[in-house]
Amino acid sequence: MTQMMKMTKKYWEGAAYDEQRFRQLKIQVAQGEGLHLEFKKNTTNPQQVVRELIAFANTKGGTLLIGVSDQGTIPGVMHPDEELPPVIKLLKNRCRPFLKFKQEIIVTPKEKFVISLTVPSSKRKPHSFFEMRNQKHTYFRIADKTIRGSEELEQITFLKSRKQSVTFTYSEYEEQLMKYLQTHESISLPGFAKLTGLSLNQASTRLVKLVAANLLNIVPQEKEDQYVVGF
């Protein structure tokens, strides 16, 4: 059973145990968490659930399973109608642009429930989460982790998703960078600023344009993004 953005007690009470569907769930869980799959035992921290969904939308899509532990066991949840409302409220009120997902209820042999939330790779990237009224962050999926994206990654994602053309002047700074990357695997934003003597803001603007123009690729990292030759 699937439904978009709505969960009612009547709906989940009508769900029945399906041995074949539960077997498919076990196969999926056995793959472990990764780029397209995340486990949550419950939604006691709805903010983190929303961050995971946003990360999937901003990257390559994925599925979040509520009622599955990090260790890959399937305890399920007792009351799906109590798990999802806090998540949906946050998505409606604090996620921009609005993010859609597909949900499914899977009944376990012990008559508990696993909630499957599937998010496609969005065409409206990047989606951001307003942690506070004037503080928003953007999240991305890297392997089996969700990370907070840098300002550069957010700008690059916006430009690429809108397929906006980018023009820039190839100057001595870009020439210095390309020469550096002939003998080094990658460079960071601070590294580029130090190499050229540019300010961090100036270096950031140039790196964003180079990635948007496909001359560089950005390799997102938890601490410091890396830039590599993109051709």
Residue 6 reports pLDDT greater than 80: no
pTM: 0.90
The tokens for 50 are 């929303």
Least confident of 130-144, 159-173, 179-193: 159-173
Per-residue confidence (pLDDT) for residue 121, from 0 to 100: 97
Least confident of 56-60, 128-132, 193-197: 128-132
Band (132; pLDDT cuts 50, 70, 90) = confident
Could you tell me what percent of the chain has a pLDDT over 70? 94
Mean pLDDT of the chain: 92
Per-residue confidence (pLDDT) for residue 231, from 0 to 100: 75
Per-residue confidence (pLDDT) for residue 3, from 0 to 100: 41
Band (117; pLDDT cuts 50, 70, 90) = very high
What the chain holds in terms of domains, given with CATH numbers, is: 2-148 (3.30.950.30), 151-229 (1.10.10.10)
Distance CA 112, CA 78 (A): 5
Distance CA 121, CA 193 (A): 33
Q: What is the mean pLDDT of residues 95-106?
A: 94
Peptide bond into 46 cis (omega under 30): no
Spatial contact of 42 and 83, defined as CB atoms under 8 Å apart: yes
The tokens for 158 are 């916006």
Per-residue confidence (pLDDT) for residue 16, from 0 to 100: 87
Spatial contact of 35 and 62, defined as CB atoms under 8 Å apart: yes
**Over the stretch 170-185, which tens digit does the pLDDT of each residue have?**
899 999 999 999 999 9
Per-residue confidence (pLDDT) for residue 4, from 0 to 100: 39
The tokens for 73 are 């066991």
Band (13; pLDDT cuts 50, 70, 90) = low
Distance CA 66, CA 81 (A): 12
Residue 159 reports pLDDT greater than 50: yes
**Over the stretch 78-99, which tens digit does the pLDDT of each residue have?**
999 899 999 999 999 999 999 9
**Over the stretch 15-63, which tens digit does the pLDDT of each residue have?**
788 999 999 999 999 999 999 999 999 999 999 999 999 999 999 999 9
